Structure 1
Amino acid sequence: MRRFAAAAAFLLLAGCGGTGDRDDDAGKRDKVAVGVIAIIDVAPIYLGQAQGFFGQQDIDLTLTTAQGGAAIVPGVLSGEFQFGFSNTISLLLAQGRNVPIRVVANGNNSTGDAANDFGGLYVRADSPIRSAKDLGGRTVAANTLKNITETTVKATVKKAGGDASAVRFTELAFPDQVPALQAGRVDAIFVVEPFQQAAIAAGARRIASPYAEAAPDLTVAMYFTSQQLIAEDPELVTRFTTAMRQSLAYADTHPDEVRAALGTYTKISPETRDALVLPRWPVEVNRGSVTELGRLAREDGLLTAEPDLTALLPGS
């Protein structure tokens, strides 16, 4: 595959990959690297790889785990990855800075059920905090600052009638959040699966589900590529998108196989995998929810102008 001009440096962790089985001559396939994060959200691409959807499109797929979506964007621009996975706010921020990328497929969505989503806002069982309204003046742990966690938590606080501007956020990796909550170093944490199960096991109490409450059927993350690859090899982009859409549809209707696939690229125990609340994986991007996230990001000062969704989203 073609390489692009070097972009900003970024940190990569160990990755893994494989191929599908359209025929026995993998040398005829396009080698495609995708930057992902080792979380449940990306289960469809691993499941689609195992099902042979990418091999059927003559794609020899390699999946490489990166530290986060913000690191994957420069990886796609540099040509280290042909495609990448990132949360919606990171992509909106990139588009707002005129970074030449475009979404090619949906990633994952909230369940839409505030009582049963794959991410939640938790406090200690003995906390005086009863709802998101009470978070003003309190400290909330987020895995990344100035991103989708902060945006959706603030939106939830506002909807509950609280002062979102008075919420303090501190950056903590997901594995460190439950211990910090138990020790009283933070007042609340926002965690996604499987860390949500750890919070529940520790006796934490859910007070809100920011993804489910920020917007109906929230598109949390998406797959994207560079404008340069679209211009130079649109046929490859089409084939990747076809395989990705197949993978999303399959994952959304085969939850047991998703749970099994998680055992191939994460260290989540079988018992925890069985208890997980899975996100939804609709084939189509929920444009309305992306619009709402853009509005919220502008309200919070993350974006200085309305994002150009026509330039960013597929089918525009």
Structure 2
Amino acid sequence: MRRLLAGIATGALLLTATACGSSDDPSDKSSSSGGVTTVKVGVIPIVDVAPLHLGQEKGIFGKHGLKLEMTPAQGGAAIVPGVVSNQFQFGFSNMASLMIAQSNGVPVQAVVNGVATTGEKGKDFGGLVVKGDSGITSAKDLEGRKVAVNTLKNINDTTVRESVREAGGDPSKVTFVEIAFDQMPAALDSGEIDGAMAVEPALTTAKSQGAVEVASSYVDVSDKLTVAMYFTSAQYAQQNPEVVEKFEAATKEALAYADGHPDEVREILTTYTKIPADLLPRLTLPKWPAEVDRGSIETLRDLGEKDGLYTRTPDLDALLP
């Protein structure tokens, strides 16, 4: 929390200029009733956020005096404006989108870890897949082809570029298009795209339709990659430090619970994703460590600089808790 609150005064001033909505609107604020604070959280309907859904169901957040209202979005890049404008009090975002926002002066503050790679190639919760009969056998073969990511300029196109480099290809020759995760399997099957950086449950759905994995792009960057985190705005952290501390503590407990109860994770997925029940046993679950791996984030930051994602180098000391 000490680092989380560092620099908040400066960030709060910037927030006033960059917010998309008025923070004075009571409808935008978290609400309290009977000792329980209701907070709105922007999430993506993927396996990554299962700990929040499971933690809510198991009463973990309630024990910490919180009730979550979760709103689905296509990606972290779409959630960042919602958090900065106080439409959401917290959000889930990949690290690349958070670093891009921070480098642009948007006052985002990471609060707690979100999700991490398994570190095993071919056995990760995210993978670069192609149609089985496409003739594509490596990431290099995607030169001159179209690859889907959930949102542009985020962790997925960044890591795919690294997979292409590792395979000896030129990532500048890959065309990236924006498609929601749950729409990727159909787009791949129809030939609308040549490849997709899919995460669970879209990854298993695509494979069930004949797609094959040609790279584990998260692992290609780091076998300990911190893929995403939960975050808030500098202004909300300044005004509601106790709520932020409760969210951090409850989320860490929920992460640990999810890590230790994989069958319950699979079951909770049926409540907020479109995964068919018969595919649940095939899902590869991510890791949910309580702490971030800073070294992996630094590697991702350096790749972003190589790809020209930032207007200035992200300040990880200011961003990370």
TM-score category, normalised to shorter length: 0.7 to 0.9
Aligned ranges for residues 1-316 of structure 1 at < 5 Å? 7-8=19-20, 27-314=34-321
Q: Deviation digits for residues 255-298 of structure 1, max 9, x if unmatched?
A: 01111111222232221222111111111111111111111111
Residue aligned with 2:235, SS: helix
Task: Report the residue type matching 2:44 in the other structure.
Answer: I
Q: Gaps (5+ residues) in structure 2? A: 1-14, 22-31
Q: Percent identity?
A: 53
1:182 shift after superposition: 3.3
In the other structure, the counterpart of 1:15 is none
Flag the structure with more relative contact order, 1 or 2, with Cα contacts below 8 A and sequence separation at least 6.
2
Decide whether aligned partners of structure 1 residues 304 and 102 sit closer, same or farther in structure 2, where only a CA change above 3 A counts: same
1:107 shift after superposition: 0.5
1:185 shift after superposition: 3.5
1:233 shift after superposition: 2.0
* Counterpart-to-counterpart distance in 1, 2:243 and 2:82: 18
Task: Report the residue type matching 2:47 in the other structure.
Answer: I
* Counterpart-to-counterpart distance in 2, 1:203 and 1:49: 35
1:26 shift after superposition: 5.2
1:66 shift after superposition: 2.7
Q: Deviation digits for residues 39-94 of structure 1, max 9, x if unmatched?
A: 11100011111222211211232222233322221221222221111111110111
* Counterpart-to-counterpart distance in 2, 1:126 and 1:71: 34
Task: Report the residue type matching 1:251 in the other structure.
Answer: A
* Counterpart-to-counterpart distance in 1, 2:194 and 2:68: 42
In the other structure, the counterpart of 1:12 is none
* Counterpart-to-counterpart distance in 2, 1:274 and 1:111: 17
Task: Report the residue type matching 1:268 in the other structure.
Answer: I
Runs of at least 4 residues off by over 4 Å: none
Residue aligned with 1:75, SS: helix
Q: Deviation digits for residues 136-180 of structure 1, max 9, x if unmatched?
A: 222222222222111000011111221112112222333443333
Decide whether aligned partners of structure 1 residues 43 and 207 sit closer, same or farther in structure 2, where only a CA change above 3 A counts: same
1:112 shift after superposition: 0.9
Residue aligned with 1:265, SS: coil
Decide whether aligned partners of structure 1 residues 181 and 237 sit closer, same or farther in structure 2, where only a CA change above 3 A counts: closer
What count of residue pairs does the alignment treat as equivalent? 296
Of stretches 238-247 and 300-309 in structure 1, the one that deviates more from structure 2 is: 300-309
* Counterpart-to-counterpart distance in 2, 1:185 and 1:261: 31
1:199 shift after superposition: 1.8
* Counterpart-to-counterpart distance in 1, 2:43 and 2:295: 25
Q: Deviation digits for residues 1-21 of structure 1, max 9, x if unmatched?
A: xxx968337xxxxxxxxxxxx
Residue aligned with 1:242, SS: helix
Would you say the 8 A contact 1:47–1:258 is kept in 2?
yes
Would you say the 8 A contact 1:101–1:312 is kept in 2?
yes
Task: Report the residue type matching 1:7 in the other structure.
Answer: A
* Counterpart-to-counterpart distance in 1, 2:182 and 2:261: 28
Q: Gaps (5+ residues) in structure 1? A: 10-24
1:304 shift after superposition: 3.2
* Counterpart-to-counterpart distance in 2, 1:118 and 1:213: 13
Task: Report the residue type matching 2:94 in the other structure.
Answer: N
- Alignment RMSD: 1.9
Decide whether aligned partners of structure 1 residues 80 and 254 sit closer, same or farther in structure 2, where only a CA change above 3 A counts: same
Task: Report the residue type matching 1:207 in the other structure.
Answer: V
* Counterpart-to-counterpart distance in 2, 1:59 and 1:176: 33
**TM-score (structure 2 length as normaliser):** 0.86
